[in-house]
């Protein structure tokens, strides 16, 4: 049976920052786990591929791969096999992040692969229309992230709230099963509160946490902001 994630949900994308690489990545994972246990809010992490195994052996919080390819086992040198990230300890994967965009046909193939081997699919979308198309493919999670706001510190939930509300509306119209998250520019607790009030069930965050002076403290604030608005 596929692992179910609690709501509200916070996913931290480690990307390829030095602050989240190797031993520093493990330290960040442990801080995320501590914040999750103390607040009761589900916090998941998405480390670099080579760090999934070492981190999975040290923490119990859910781990997502940053990407998987639409391939089957075989001759695909340099690609990321879904079964390999599951074997390493991940329970799911990000798909179609703005820094690793895919064709809709590949997104469809990858979602089907995740379903066959019981992985959770978290598909990133850049606008409401794409979210509508993706929701028809029946992913587990849809995360709305306008690429122009990623890493800016300007939250989409504040700068362009209509993008979030339209995404929620369109996804639910097509498919009411996916969990809807909000990303891009989330950097303050109030950004999280607004995202929840707009109809999402959590956030996908990266640099704000990875580069924070005290990631644990910030995550606790994010978690409390998420629960106080429900």
Active site residues: 97, 145
CB burial of residue 163 (10 Å; 0-12, 13-18, 19+): buried
Strands (E), 30-133: 42-46, 64-65, 92-95, 120-125
Residue length of the chain: 230
CB 184 within 8 A of CB 207: no
CB 96 within 8 A of CB 69: no
**Helix, strand, coil shares, percent, the chain, to 5:** 45, 15, 40
Q: What is the DSSP letter of 185?
A: S
Q: CA of 103: how far to CAs of 12, 98, 173, in Å?
A: 24, 12, 23
**What is the C-alpha separation between 214 and 142, in angstroms, rounded?**
28
CB 53 within 8 A of CB 73: no
3-class secondary structure, 158: helix
CB burial of residue 214 (10 Å; 0-12, 13-18, 19+): exposed
């Amino acid at each position: 049976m596929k692992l179910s994630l609690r709501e509200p949900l916070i996913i931290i994308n480690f990307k390829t920052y030095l602050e989240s690489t190797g031993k520093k990545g493990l330290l960040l994972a442990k801080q995320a786990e501590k914040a999750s246990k103390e607040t009761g809010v589900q916090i998941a992490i998405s480390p670099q591929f080579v760090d999934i195994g070492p981190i999975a052996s040290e923490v119990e919080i859910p781990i997502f791969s940053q990407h998987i390819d639409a391939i089957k086992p075989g001759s695909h040198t340099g690609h990321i096999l879904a079964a390999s990230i599951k074997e390493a300890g991940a329970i799911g994967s990000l798909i179609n992040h703005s820094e690793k965009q895919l064709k809709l046909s590949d997104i469809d193939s990858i979602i089907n692969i995740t379903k066959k081997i019981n992985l959770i699919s978290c598909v990133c979308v850049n606008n409401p229309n794409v979210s509508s198309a993706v929701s028809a493919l029946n992913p587990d999670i849809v995360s709305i992230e306008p690429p122009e706001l990623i890493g800016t510190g300007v939250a989409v939930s504040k700068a362009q709230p209509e993008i979030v509300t339209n995404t929620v509306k369109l996804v639910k119209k097509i498919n009411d099963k996916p969990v809807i998250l909000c990303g891009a520019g989330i950097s303050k607790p109030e950004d999280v509160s607004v995202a929840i009030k707009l109809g999402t069930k959590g956030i996908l965050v990266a640099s704000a946490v990875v580069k924070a002076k005290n990631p644990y403290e910030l995550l606790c604030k994010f978690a409390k902001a998420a629960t106080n608005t429900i």
